[in-house]
Amino acid sequence: GMAATAEALRRVPTVEIDGGGVFKYVLLRVRAAGGPGKDVVRGHGWAEYHADIYERTAQELARQGLDCECLGGGRLSHRPEERKIHVYGYSVGFGRADHAVTTEKLKAEYPDYEVTWADEGY
Protein backbone atom coordinates (compact mmCIF):
# COMPACT_ATOMS: atom_id res chain seq x y z
CA GLY A 1 0.00 0.00 0.00
CA MET A 2 0.91 3.65 0.43
CA ALA A 3 3.34 3.00 3.30
CA ALA A 4 5.30 0.47 1.25
CA THR A 5 5.49 2.87 -1.68
CA ALA A 6 6.65 5.72 0.56
CA GLU A 7 9.34 3.41 1.97
CA ALA A 8 10.40 2.49 -1.58
CA LEU A 9 10.70 6.21 -2.40
CA ARG A 10 12.82 6.79 0.70
CA ARG A 11 15.19 4.00 -0.37
CA VAL A 12 15.79 5.41 -3.87
CA PRO A 13 19.40 6.70 -3.94
CA THR A 14 19.58 10.45 -4.49
CA VAL A 15 22.73 10.14 -6.60
CA GLU A 16 23.92 7.35 -8.88
CA ILE A 17 26.77 8.35 -11.19
CA ASP A 18 29.77 6.64 -12.76
CA GLY A 19 33.01 6.59 -10.77
CA GLY A 20 34.86 8.77 -13.28
CA GLY A 21 34.85 10.24 -16.77
CA VAL A 22 32.63 12.57 -18.76
CA PHE A 23 29.07 11.41 -19.29
CA LYS A 24 25.46 12.46 -19.71
CA TYR A 25 23.21 12.94 -16.71
CA VAL A 26 19.54 13.54 -16.04
CA LEU A 27 17.73 15.16 -13.11
CA LEU A 28 14.59 13.15 -12.33
CA ARG A 29 11.63 13.74 -10.03
CA VAL A 30 10.59 10.43 -8.54
CA ARG A 31 7.10 10.06 -7.08
CA ALA A 32 5.11 7.56 -5.12
CA ALA A 33 1.53 7.49 -6.43
CA GLY A 34 -0.04 10.83 -5.58
CA GLY A 35 2.64 11.52 -2.99
CA PRO A 36 5.47 14.01 -2.69
CA GLY A 37 8.40 13.90 -5.08
CA LYS A 38 12.13 13.44 -4.61
CA ASP A 39 14.69 14.75 -7.08
CA VAL A 40 17.50 12.39 -8.02
CA VAL A 41 20.61 12.53 -10.22
CA ARG A 42 21.56 9.73 -12.62
CA GLY A 43 24.67 9.91 -14.80
CA HIS A 44 26.22 7.10 -16.85
CA GLY A 45 28.80 6.70 -19.56
CA TRP A 46 26.96 3.83 -21.23
CA ALA A 47 24.15 6.16 -22.28
CA GLU A 48 24.29 7.42 -25.85
CA TYR A 49 21.24 9.63 -25.20
CA HIS A 50 19.79 11.23 -22.09
CA ALA A 51 16.59 9.27 -22.78
CA ASP A 52 18.53 6.01 -22.33
CA ILE A 53 19.20 6.86 -18.67
CA TYR A 54 15.66 8.12 -18.14
CA GLU A 55 14.04 5.02 -19.64
CA ARG A 56 16.18 2.51 -17.74
CA THR A 57 15.64 4.36 -14.45
CA ALA A 58 11.88 4.64 -15.09
CA GLN A 59 11.68 0.88 -15.67
CA GLU A 60 13.54 0.13 -12.43
CA LEU A 61 11.32 2.52 -10.47
CA ALA A 62 8.10 1.19 -12.00
CA ARG A 63 8.88 -2.25 -10.55
CA GLN A 64 8.80 -0.59 -7.10
CA GLY A 65 5.52 1.19 -7.79
CA LEU A 66 7.22 4.55 -8.40
CA ASP A 67 7.14 6.80 -11.41
CA CYS A 68 9.41 9.60 -12.54
CA GLU A 69 9.59 12.56 -14.87
CA CYS A 70 12.69 14.07 -16.38
CA LEU A 71 13.41 17.65 -15.28
CA GLY A 72 16.26 18.07 -17.77
CA GLY A 73 19.77 16.91 -18.44
CA GLY A 74 23.35 17.86 -19.00
CA ARG A 75 26.82 16.42 -18.62
CA LEU A 76 29.06 15.58 -15.71
CA SER A 77 32.83 15.63 -15.71
CA HIS A 78 33.85 13.44 -12.76
CA ARG A 79 37.56 13.52 -11.89
CA PRO A 80 37.96 11.37 -8.76
CA GLU A 81 41.76 11.75 -8.63
CA GLU A 82 41.24 15.53 -8.26
CA ARG A 83 38.05 15.16 -6.22
CA LYS A 84 36.17 17.36 -8.69
CA ILE A 85 32.82 17.16 -10.44
CA HIS A 86 31.76 19.76 -12.99
CA VAL A 87 28.13 20.02 -14.11
CA TYR A 88 27.37 21.63 -17.49
CA GLY A 89 25.59 21.38 -20.81
CA TYR A 90 22.05 20.36 -21.65
CA SER A 91 19.86 17.66 -23.15
CA VAL A 92 18.44 18.24 -26.63
CA GLY A 93 15.38 16.15 -25.78
CA PHE A 94 14.72 17.18 -22.17
CA GLY A 95 16.26 20.64 -22.00
CA ARG A 96 18.75 21.92 -19.44
CA ALA A 97 18.48 20.57 -15.93
CA ASP A 98 18.74 23.00 -13.03
CA HIS A 99 22.47 22.48 -12.50
CA ALA A 100 22.35 24.32 -9.18
CA VAL A 101 19.99 21.63 -7.82
CA THR A 102 22.19 18.87 -9.25
CA THR A 103 25.27 20.48 -7.67
CA GLU A 104 23.64 20.52 -4.21
CA LYS A 105 22.77 16.82 -4.52
CA LEU A 106 26.31 15.97 -5.60
CA LYS A 107 27.85 18.01 -2.77
CA ALA A 108 25.75 16.08 -0.25
CA GLU A 109 26.88 12.76 -1.77
CA TYR A 110 30.53 13.83 -2.24
CA PRO A 111 31.21 16.17 0.70
CA ASP A 112 34.97 16.16 0.17
CA TYR A 113 34.69 17.15 -3.49
CA GLU A 114 34.76 20.49 -5.25
CA VAL A 115 31.51 20.54 -7.24
CA THR A 116 31.04 23.33 -9.79
CA TRP A 117 28.56 24.08 -12.54
CA ALA A 118 28.18 26.28 -15.62
CA ASP A 119 25.31 26.88 -18.02
CA GLU A 120 27.52 27.02 -21.09
CA GLY A 121 28.81 24.05 -23.07
CA TYR A 122 27.09 21.10 -24.62
On average, the pLDDT of the chain sits at 94
Round to whole Å and give the CA distance between 64 and 122. Answer: 33
Neighbours of 25 (CB within 10 A): 29
pTM for the model:
0.94
Round to whole Å and give the CA distance between 74 and 105. Answer: 15
CA distances from 99 to 3, 7, 56, 62 (A): 32, 27, 22, 26
**Full residue range of the structural domain in which residue 114 is found:** 2-118
Q: Is 107 labelled as part of a ligand binding site? A: no
User: What confidence score (pLDDT) does residue 119 get?
Assistant: 83
Q: Is 50 a catalytic residue?
A: yes
The domain tally of the chain equals 1
Q: Which residue of the set 50, 78, 86, 99 is catalytic? A: 50
Q: Which CATH number fits the domain that encloses residue 80?
A: 3.50.20.20
pLDDT in tens, 57-116: 999 999 999 999 999 999 999 999 999 999 999 999 999 999 999 999 999 999 999 999
Asked if 88 and 119 touch (Cβ cutoff 8 Å), the reply is: yes
